[in-house]
């Protein structure tokens, strides 16, 4: 049952990402960087990754002295897919839409102007510019699959008090 919910949620996340990419307003033009100066994303390889079996250490070290760990699984010119564990402070992305599938944990999550309850199996759609954060886990640690369309730029995490 849990696998069928996870598989169905992944399909829904992919479909929502395609929809968000078509519906969301285009980002303002950014200064162009010559193609030769931009690193090419790694080639996709066929593989199966069990996200529920990854240890915290396999996901990665804590990010910038926070409670968040993150590991990019897929990086293409169109978007990225990462697994994240832990909580992150309130922030928004000006140029990237984000879709999160909660894999584990339950608790409160900031989405826009409201704090909502989320649990494993919930799909969270976060259009660019929307304030969001994993706030307080009531059970376990939040673990989520995070899809960003287009890929998030390094300086596109804007903290919010």
Q: Residue for token digits 């564990």?
A: 85
Distance CA 128, CA 70 (A): 20
Q: What angle do CA 89, 50, 135 make, to 5 degrees?
A: 15
Tell me the mean pLDDT in the region 118-144. Answer: 90
State residue 22's pLDDT score. 39
Domains defined along the chain, listed by start: 2-24+58-159 (2.60.120.10)
State the pLDDT confidence band at 128, using cuts at 50, 70 and 90: very high
Name residues whose C-beta falls within 8 Å of residue 48's C-beta, 6 or more positions apart in sequence: none
Instruction: Please report where in the chains the tokens 């699959």 appear, as a residue.
Output: 145
Neighbours of 113 (CB within 10 A): 7
Interstrand relation of 132-149 and 97-111 (parallel, antiparallel or unpaired): antiparallel
**Statement: residue 36 has pLDDT above 60:** no
pLDDT for position 40 = 53
Could you tell me the pLDDT band of residue 42, with boundaries at 50, 70 and 90?
low
Examine the pLDDT at 10 and tell me if it is beyond 50.
Answer: no
Average pLDDT over every residue of 25-49? 54
Which is more confident, 20 or 88? 88
- 3-class SS at 150? coil
> DSSP alpha helices (H): ranges in 24-155?
56-59
Q: Which of the four pLDDT bands, split at 50, 70 and 90, describes residue 7?
A: very low
């Amino acid at each position: 049952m849990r696998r069928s919910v996870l598989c169905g949620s992944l399909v829904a996340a992919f479909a929502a990402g395609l929809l968000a990419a078509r519906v969301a307003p285009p980002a303002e033009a950014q200064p162009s960087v010559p193609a030769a100066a931009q690193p090419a994303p790694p080639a996709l390889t066929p593989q199966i990754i069990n996200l529920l079996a990854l240890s915290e250490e396999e996901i990665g070290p804590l990010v910038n002295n926070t409670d968040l760990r993150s590991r990019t699984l897929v990086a293409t010119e169109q978007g990225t897919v990462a697994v994240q564990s832990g909580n992150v402070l309130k922030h928004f992305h000006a140029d990237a839409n984000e879709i999160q599938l909660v894999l584990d944990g339950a608790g409160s999550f900031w989405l826009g102007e409201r704090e909502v309850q989320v649990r494993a199996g919930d799909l969270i759609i976060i259009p660019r510019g929307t304030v969001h954060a994993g706030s307080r886990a009531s059970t376990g640690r939040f673990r989520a699959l995070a899809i960003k369309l287009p890929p998030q730029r390094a300086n596109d995490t804007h903290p919010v008090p």
